[in-house]
Amino acid sequence: MMDYIIGIDVGTTSTKALIYDTDGNIYGKANKGYPLYQDTPDMAEEDPDEIFNATVSAMQEVVAKANITDGKVIAISWSAQQHSLIALDKDFKPLTRSLTWADNRSQKYAAEYKQNGRGMEMYKRTGLPIHPMGPFYKLLYFKNERPEIFDQAAYWVGIKEYIIWKYTGVLKEEVSMAAATGLLNMNSAQWDEEALKETGLTERQLPELVDTTDKFQGIKSEYAKVIGIDKDVYFVMGATDGALSTIGVGAIQTGVLAINIGTSAAVRTFVDKPRVDPKARLYCYPVMKGKYLVGGPINNGGIVLNWAHDSLFGGEVEAAKLLHIDSYDMLSKIAATVPAGSDGLIFHPYLGGERAPLWDANARGSFFGLNRKHTRAHMIRAVMEGIMYNLYSVTLALKEVTGEPKAVLAAGGFARSTLWTQMMADIFEHNIVIPESYESGSLAAMFLAKMALGLEDNLEDIKKYMGKETVYEPNEDVFKRYRTLMPIYLRLSRDLSKEYEGIAEYQREFSDTDE
């Protein structure tokens, strides 16, 4: 008899499910997407039931692929996007869609808290940077601008808590997900009294707080039957995608950086006690005893490359489809025809505002340095480099708080591009280590399930499941190019920041999108 564990990662644009045996071998993968609703420029919502259905479909597919005849699925363990917020009525029915981290409608409340100093006070207690991504600020938006929803809401939850409740009827929230709300005191790992007072919430409106390895048995029979698993399966709470992506690349020790580029991106490291940035550029969230995650999340990761893929190379993409060629691989080859530094073309990738390091929801993207020599090939390389410059700028802030990195580990879809990964090594001037298992969130979710079930007891042992490592070494021949461009990139970010609010207000006022 063989036991299986499903590690499931509820992301911003899709849900991934992987099914493992208890030795860490993968028996099936599935990826189910869902739309992001952006009816106005600052809106970024998802339908929680569409996401729930995606999790059902993904698990159903991987169970079928595993063709289990000699065992059963013993646990489902969860990774999920941070900073989501859903209002539920007394019967647990959604009153809203899920507001994602990218929703900026609470921008003015974050700005007020930044200006009056209360935001810094909140940051020092909760570790949540002063930005509309935080459910704390989203709640202020509902309280002040949507009172008909705020007054009716019996519960406020994130997407992971809603999904687990729908499967089981149990409403719990583990500490890492709770920390990302800005409602948790990072020192006590309990709901923060002042944050509740500011938002007007009570603890009864929030889920029960539990550890990341908390587990309980039982799934509603209707879903067990559809997925093809037993009703007595364990649900393991898991953690945020940020925490699990860091664990899943083996960045367990303080000073080891984990970088992930998916739709968004982040630079993170673990520390053994709460540590905040005097400039509030980084978050600090408890994950488990003696493990606090410090890092900077970035709005503009792979989603920016997707924009360039569709907007700049639409014709080539369609041709690639007809020829059954991977269009992203095609873009990498086009970008590789241009020298490092893109002949002086710099791209600021702030297409959807920006969190770290700017923390400005009004930030907008730009090309700088265009001349007649530049082509679309230069533009696509500049886009890839711009995303890396932005990640490196967050790393500079992280160095100030946690010191020089001992190692840099990376994962995410970008790692499949040799050009992009080499670019990271060259810009960071550091070896970049890529584990074979690039689905780091699902892997770590599986490992936490093993810890919850008593099958593992040391977080460091996840490394035995990660496969071989590929190391990208920096190319000294291009150091001078990137060292020269990086200060220009940073100065431009500061100079352009004076105009972000003005251009953002213009776009809101004259947008052709109906309210």
Tens digit of pLDDT for each residue in 78-113? 999 999 999 999 999 999 999 999 899 999 999 999
Tens digit of pLDDT for each residue in 278-330? 999 999 999 999 999 999 999 999 999 999 999 999 999 999 999 999 999 99
Tens digit of pLDDT for each residue in 351-392? 988 999 999 989 999 999 999 999 999 999 999 999 999 999
- What residues pair up with 7 in beta bridges, in sequence order? 18, 77
The two tokens of residue 66 are: 């595993």
pLDDT at 440: 87
User: Does 160 score more than 90 pLDDT?
Assistant: yes
Domains and CATH numbers, the chain: 2-243 (3.30.420.40), 250-297+411-472 (3.30.420.40), 302-403+486-510 (3.30.420.40)
Residue range 246-253: mean pLDDT, rounded: 94
Separation in Å, CA 74 to CA 1, 6, 71, 248, 445 = 12, 8, 9, 21, 14
Report phi then psi at 49, rounded to 5. Answer: -75, -30
Mean pLDDT estimate for the chain: 95
User: Does 450 score more than 60 pLDDT?
Assistant: yes
User: Does 262 score more than 90 pLDDT?
Assistant: no
Q: What is the pTM of this model?
A: 0.92
User: Does 514 score more than 50 pLDDT?
Assistant: no
pLDDT at 281: 94
Query: Strand 208-210 vs strand 190-191: parallel, antiparallel, or unpaired?
Result: unpaired
Say how many C-beta atoms besides its own lie within 10 A of residue 246's C-beta.
32
Give the contacts of 147 (CB within 8 A, at least 6 positions apart).
none
What is the Cα–Cα distance from 488 to 492, expressed in whole angstroms? 6
Percentage of the chain beyond pLDDT 90 is 90
Residue 263: pLDDT band (50, 70, 90) is confident
pLDDT at 511: 73
Residue 40: pLDDT band (50, 70, 90) is confident
Residue 515: pLDDT band (50, 70, 90) is very low
pLDDT at 312: 95
Element (H, E) at 318: helix 314-322
User: Does 422 score more than 90 pLDDT?
Assistant: yes
Percentage of the chain beyond pLDDT 70 is 99
What is the Cα–Cα distance from 90 to 153, expressed in whole angstroms? 7
Tens digit of pLDDT for each residue in 463-497? 999 989 999 999 999 999 999 999 999 999 999 99
Residue 209: pLDDT band (50, 70, 90) is very high
